[in-house]
């Protein structure tokens, strides 16, 4: 059985979609949700879906006190960042090299510090882009910088505001992300 740990800071719709996708899997299980925001929607979702959640502080994140041991306890084969907004530190990447992130734009466009959630869609509309999409990529210690694994695209029309773009991106994420996670896990297993 492969262990998946998800990091999320917000509503958690991607986390929930991934948990549901693997709910009946004999090969993959979501063992925990790690969250840095007290009261985030993802914590309620985890509870409803019977997945343990671990809340951690900025101090934990910086020092590694508690969190490194907690993470080791879950023995993740893959860590998935699904709307997680802090930089993933070298310290953890050295221990857990298999970390992927989903970004709601076609990287390298509209990435980097401060580019998350609605900020991304607002920037896409302001730049009069005619398409946008999602990128799943390997995580490095820089924002949105690692090698891309998967992209999917959608059109942006002149009528689309940032909310319309957000809806299109949400659809793409729901459609593709769990399957991409599954493929990455298969690749990791093959190379092991």
* Alpha-carbon Rg for the chain in angstroms: 16
Q: According to the binding rule CB under 6 A, does residue 103 interact with ligand GAR?
A: yes
How many C-beta atoms surround the C-beta of residue 151 within 10 A?
17
Which residues contact residue 160 at a Cβ distance below 8 angstroms, ignoring those fewer than 6 apart? Answer: 125, 168
Assess whether 103 carries a catalytic annotation.
yes
**Exposure b/e, 79-118, CB count within 10 A at least 16 = b:** bbbbbbeeebeeebbeebebbbbbbbbbbebbbeeebbbe
Asked whether position 82 contacts ligand GAR by CB under 6 A, the answer is yes
Q: How far is the CB of 15 from ligand GAR (least distance, A)?
A: 6
Considering the rule CB under 6 A, would residue 83 count as an interface residue with ligand GAR? yes
**Residue of 66, 103, 119, 170 marked catalytic:** 103
Q: Give me the least distance between CB of 111 and ligand GAR, in Å please.
A: 7
Strand-pairing partners, residue 30, are 4
Nearer to ligand GAR, 76 or 83 (CB): 83
Which neighbouring-strand residues pair with 156? none
Instruction: Say whether residue 133 binds ligand GAR (CB under 6 A).
Output: no
Q: Is 116 in the site for ligand GAR (CB under 6 A)?
A: yes
Part in contact with ligand GAR (CB under 6 A); list of ranges 21-29, 65-73, 100-108, 149-157 = 100-108
Q: How far is the CB of 161 from ligand GAR (least distance, A)?
A: 16
- As a whole number of angstroms, the distance between CA 80 and CA 82 comes to 6
- Secondary element (H or E) of residue 101: strand 99-103
| 8 sits near ligand GAR (criterion: CB under 6 A) | yes
Residues making contact with ligand GAR (CB under 6 A)? 8, 10-15, 82-83, 102-104, 115-117, 120, 169, 173
* Positions marked catalytic: 103
């Amino acid at each position: 059985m492969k262990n998946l740990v998800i990091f999320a800071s917000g509503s958690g719709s991607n986390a929930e979609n991934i948990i549901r996708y693997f709910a009946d899997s004999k090969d993959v299980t979501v063992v925990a949700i790690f969250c840095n925001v007290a009261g985030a929607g993802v914590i309620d979702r985890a509870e409803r879906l019977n997945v343990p959640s671990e809340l951690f502080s900025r101090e934990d994140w910086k020092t590694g006190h508690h969190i490194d041991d907690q993470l080791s306890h879950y023995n993740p084969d893959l860590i998935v960042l699904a709307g997680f907004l802090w930089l993933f530190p070298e310290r953890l990447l050295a221990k857990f090299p298999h970390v992927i992130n989903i970004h709601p734009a076609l990287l390298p466009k509209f990435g980097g510090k401060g580019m998350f959630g609605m900020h991304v869609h607002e920037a896409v509309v302001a730049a009069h882009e005619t398409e946008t999409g999602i990128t799943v990529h390997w995580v490095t210690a820089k924002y949105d910088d690692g090698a891309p694994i998967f992209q999917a695209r959608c059109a942006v029309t002149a009528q689309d505001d940032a909310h319309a773009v957000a809806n299109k991106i949400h659809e793409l994420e729901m459609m593709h992300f769990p399957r991409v996670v599954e493929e990455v896990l298969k690749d990791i297993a093959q190379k092991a």
